Amino acid sequence: MKDTSLLLPRLTVTPSSSQVFTGEPVSLRCEDASDGWTVRRNTSRERRTECEDWGRSAGSSCNISSMDPLDSGEYWCESTEGSTSNTITITVSGGSVILQSPALPVMKGDDVTLTCRTKMADPPSADFYKDGVSIRTESDGHMTLPHVNRSDEGLYKCRVQNEGESPESRLSVSEKPMTTSSPPTSTMDLPPPCASYFPLVFRLICHLVVLYCISTFLMVSLYRQRARGSDPSVSVVMTPPTHTEQGLDDDYDDVMSAVTTEHQF
């Protein structure tokens, strides 16, 4: 079930046409609207008036039993807080020919059919125009645009011989919304449960190895320091003097004796 509270209302019109004849009924509806939304319009004689001023309100819908050329204008949905929906332009013709074209933008790639109508007969042979340039003539009054794109946007009208021509209506083309859904994943494609834990276990083992190496290094360093601190003091070993050293000492004693005797005289 979709959550309509997260959607902005969308205005739709029945019949789904941007042109109607004088006297025809029209129903406007705010789809996905919560309480407090109403249909408003701008015409040549009034601005932002509510449905109660020109139609019959029924919740989030507004019905007009008999359209008048003065009802031509822009229609939209609006909340009490001022939020607005899309806008639909409706043209009420007092003439004898209208062009039935989509009131809402059509999706890119769709087929669109435009119908030329008269009051007195089924759709007759009609000439169709885009932006004032003749496109083609259709014997049954229906012109289909296959796989529409942006280049098909413009102002369209039709003309019936001996009857006249319709007002112009704008055809708008919009991009199709992007789809975000993905195909369901088979249980065969899912990895085994333990696979998601392997990177964590591997990292834990690496940390333990590094910690072990650091601890071993510190213990070896401490052991060496203690071993050096417990070594016995270095003793001095006295060795007997050599003959050369003994001779030098005797000469030194003779010299000192001579100096002492001379000093006494």
* Nearest-10 Cα torsion for 227, 233, 234, 236: -170
Q: So what's the pLDDT on residue 237? A: 41
What digits encode the pLDDT tens for the residues 129-144? 999 999 999 999 999 9
Query: Is 120 a residue whose pLDDT tops 60?
Result: yes
Q: So what's the pLDDT on residue 178? A: 72
Q: So what's the pLDDT on residue 255? A: 41
What digits encode the pLDDT tens for the residues 188-225? 454 554 444 556 666 778 778 778 778 787 887 777 77
Annotation: CATH topology of 95-175: Immunoglobulin-like (2.60.40)
Query: Is 29 a residue whose pLDDT tops 90?
Result: yes
Q: So what's the pLDDT on residue 135? A: 96
Tokens of 114: 């435009």
Long-range pairs of 122-128 with CB within 8 A, sequence gap ≥ 24:
124/160, 124/163, 125/160, 125/161, 126/158, 126/159, 126/160, 127/158, 127/159, 127/160, 128/156, 128/157, 128/158
Question: Using an 8 Å Cβ cutoff, are 29 and 60 in contact?
Answer: yes
Q: So what's the pLDDT on residue 148? A: 97
Instruction: Please state the rounded mean pLDDT for residues 83-107.
Output: 95
> Considering only 2-11, 37-46, 159-168, which range has the smallest mean pLDDT?
2-11
**Which segment, 121-130, 191-200, 246-255, is predicted with the most confidence on average?**
121-130
Q: 7-94 belongs to which homologous superfamily?
A: Immunoglobulins (2.60.40.10)
Residue appearing with tokens 């407090």: 36
What ranges do the domains of the chain cover? Answer: 7-94, 95-175
What digits encode the pLDDT tens for the residues 181-190? 555 544 445 4
